[in-house]
Amino acid sequence: MIASRREPPATEREPLERAATAPVVAAVELDTVHSTADTAAQLARDFDAPLAFVTVRPPLGDAADQRRLTRDLLRARKVLDVALDAASRHGVMSYGEVVEGDVVTKILEFARARDAQLLVVGTRRRRDAPSVSRQVVAAADRPVHVAAPCRAVSDPRLRRMTTGRAQRGARPTRRWRMTR
């Protein structure tokens, strides 16, 4: 007698095939890109899933300033570059996108559109501002992993872009003033 493997019916196979191709989605931003990207890459490697990074920039007002637009796009591109580097270090297939709009809404729409099996967000431990990660956890329709914050920015591409906090090894910002 020859033993054979029984194929599951098509209705049983579909969720398994979908789970194998559904990506892990990670929402990255300037202050938390290192911890979020590393955590998401490790989870994607463990799940044997592709990784999709998203960064959300605020919507432009009526009088869109070209300098602000260029600065925001450059900052978003650098954040995605750091995240994609982290994924490649972990050997995970990944891609990234920049979207514009309300942060919580766009993160959830991005994950829903890609049928993500897991959503990874970072946290900054700010007590006075509303937390995006808490809002995402409350409104998400899929599992959410909140990555622990990273203590220092070690990537030279981001060191000069951090907002206001002094980083070890970073050159001080020069402020120019006009003289007559």
Tokens 């998203």 identify what position? 54
Predicted local distance difference test score (pLDDT) of residue 152: 52
Predicted local distance difference test score (pLDDT) of residue 158: 53
Residue 152 within a domain: yes
Residue 153 within a domain: yes
**The model's pTM:** 0.72
Q: Is 89 helix (H, G, I), strand (E, B) or coil?
A: helix
Amino acid residing at 37: A
Long-range contacts of 17-21 (CB under 8 A, 24+ apart): 18/115, 19/117, 20/48, 20/49, 21/49, 21/50
88: Cβ contacts below 8 Å, ≥ 6 apart: 94
Nearest Cα to 49, choosing from 143, 138, 135? 143
Q: How many domains does the chain have?
A: 1
Q: Which domain holds residue 122?
A: 22-159
Predicted local distance difference test score (pLDDT) of residue 5: 46
Residue 10 within a domain: no
**99 DSSP 8-state letter:** E
- Residue 35 belongs to a domain with what CATH number? 3.40.50.620
Q: Could you give the CA distance from residue 30 to residue 160 in angstroms, rounded to a whole number?
A: 11
Tokens 């911890």 identify what position? 35
Predicted local distance difference test score (pLDDT) of residue 156: 54
Predicted local distance difference test score (pLDDT) of residue 41: 96
Q: Which residue would you say has higher pLDDT here, 36 or 70?
A: 36
Predicted local distance difference test score (pLDDT) of residue 65: 75
What is the average pLDDT across 21-35? 92
Q: Could you give the CA distance from residue 145 to residue 135 in angstroms, rounded to a whole number?
A: 13
